[in-house]
């Protein structure tokens, strides 16, 4: 689908559901202090300074090539909106649409499926945030990329080309409907200056093609620390809420700590108690300081793996979610359907409710609605 056809399709579905979009903006604005929420005509720079309190889920249809690239599912967008949520983060693997022999050649059929997700977001009043979970030269998950995004000029060139392509493709889609989250959980750079240079290169490439696209940068150290060096670049930032990992990633094979004891919340680690106050001091406070500098903040990922006891998950989520809400920030649970989510999570200690052929964790959903 070329850009003109996409914009026509997106405009058509959006026009028939304008009330939903207005309702989504109104709900987000209602959560912000008076006078601080951007209006409906807010520019990308306005939004980057003060993000609406968008809340929702990560959708994983293009999360990794190894799991297969699939079309996004309209029922996910419809369910989110039915429940009162308005944000979908799409963590994606660039290899899904990039020719393995020519990194500057893209598969139009796969890109059309991303077009459809953007259009579905507009139809259902759900903001869509595109994220390169695997980017040319970097991914937090194995396997390692053949190039290094932080040190190789060719990797940076490919990375910038990816974002320039998306920027040109979606030029004209309002910033209130679509954002770009540059690279998931940056890590393994040797110097912070490498992180800054990579992000600024992509920001420049996007703005050359579309000056009014809302851009987010995941924070330093896998999204745990604010990137204060980008505070004046007119982009928002995304924190990731996996704290402490002994609670969020208990028995997760990729976390590499099979000997962790079954977690509680609050959690005792040696002489330290990790609790709501600990989360505030170690995670929330530094990000609030960034927000006070005029940088919008959003928690782009959070949640607990399905081996953590359900009661512990809910107690932890309540504390973390309330702190994020009090700060005025939105969030996106990892994930909607799957081992961290509210649907089909595979938890052994949950009595599920049938929901359109899926297994719904009603207790978790009801909690999320309050946060």
The CATH number assigned to the domain holding 34 equals: 3.20.20.80
Coil/strand/helix, residue 29: helix
- Contact, 255 vs 222, CB < 8 A? no
- Contact, 73 vs 121, CB < 8 A? no
Looking at residue 8, its pLDDT comes to 46
165-179 as b/e: b if 16+ CB within 10 A: bbbebbeebbbbbbb
Looking at residue 40, its pLDDT comes to 57
Task: Compute CA distances 33 → 29, 156, 235, 351, whole Å.
Answer: 8, 39, 21, 38
Query: CB-based contacts of 226: which residues, under 8 Å, 6+ apart?
Result: 219, 220, 237, 239, 286, 287, 289, 290, 295
Name the residue range of residue 352's domain. Answer: 3-370
Task: Name residues of the chain where pLDDT drops below 50.
Answer: 1-36
Q: What is the pLDDT of residues 302-336, one digit of tens each?
A: 999 999 999 999 999 999 999 999 999 999 999 99
Angle 321-323-224 from CA coordinates, rounded to 5°: 85
> Phi and psi of 70, rounded to 5°?
-125, 160
Q: How many domains does the chain have?
A: 1
Looking at residue 39, its pLDDT comes to 61
Residue 117: name the closest of 79, 61, 57, 175 by CA.
61
Looking at residue 24, its pLDDT comes to 36
Looking at residue 259, its pLDDT comes to 85
DSSP 17: T
Q: What is the pLDDT of residues 217-252, one digit of tens each?
A: 999 999 999 999 999 999 999 999 999 999 999 999
């Amino acid at each position: 689908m070329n850009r003109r056809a996409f914009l026509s399709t997106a405009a058509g579905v959006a026009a028939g559901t304008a009330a939903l979009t207005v309702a989504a903006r109104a709900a987000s604005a209602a959560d912000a202090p008076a006078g601080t929420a951007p209006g409906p005509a807010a520019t990308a720079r306005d939004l980057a300074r003060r993000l609406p309190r968008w809340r929702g889920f990560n959708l994983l249809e293009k999360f990794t090539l190894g799991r297969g690239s699939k079309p996004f599912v309209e029922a996910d967008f419809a369910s989110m909106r039915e429940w009162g949520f308005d944000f979908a983060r799409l963590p994606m693997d660039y290899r899904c649409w990039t020719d393995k022999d020519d990194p500057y050649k893209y598969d139009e059929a796969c890109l059309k499926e991303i077009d459809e997700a953007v259009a579905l977001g507009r139809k259902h009043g759900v903001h869509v945030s595109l994220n390169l979970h695997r980017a040319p030269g970097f991914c937090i998950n194995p396997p390692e990329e053949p190039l290094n995004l932080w040190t190789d000029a060719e990797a940076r060139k490919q990375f910038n080309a990816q974002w320039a392509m998306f920027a040109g493709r979606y030029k004209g889609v309002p910033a209130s409907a679509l954002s770009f989250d540059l690279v998931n959980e940056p890590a393994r750079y040797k110097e912070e200056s490498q992180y800054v240079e990579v992000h600024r290169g992509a920001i420049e490439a996007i703005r050359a093609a579309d000056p009014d696209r809302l851009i987010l940068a995941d924070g330093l150290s896998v999204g745990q620390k604010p990137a204060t060096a980008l505070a004046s670049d007119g982009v928002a930032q995304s924190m990731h809420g996996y704290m402490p990992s002994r609670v969020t990633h208990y028995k997760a094979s990729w976390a590499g700590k099979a000997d962790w004891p079954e977690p509680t919340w609050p959690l005792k680690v040696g002489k330290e108690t990790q609790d709501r106050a600990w989360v505030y001091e170690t995670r929330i406070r530094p990000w609030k300081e960034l927000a006070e500098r005029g940088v919008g903040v959003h928690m782009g990922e959070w949640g607990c793996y399905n081996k953590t006891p359900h009661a512990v998950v809910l107690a932890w989520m309540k504390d973390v979610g309330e702190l994020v809400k009090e700060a005025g920030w939105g969030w996106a649970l990892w994930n909607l359907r799957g081992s961290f989510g509210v649907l089909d999570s595979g938890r052994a200690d949950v009595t599920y409710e049938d929901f359109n052929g899926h297994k719904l964790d009603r207790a978790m959903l009801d909690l999320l609605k309050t946060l």
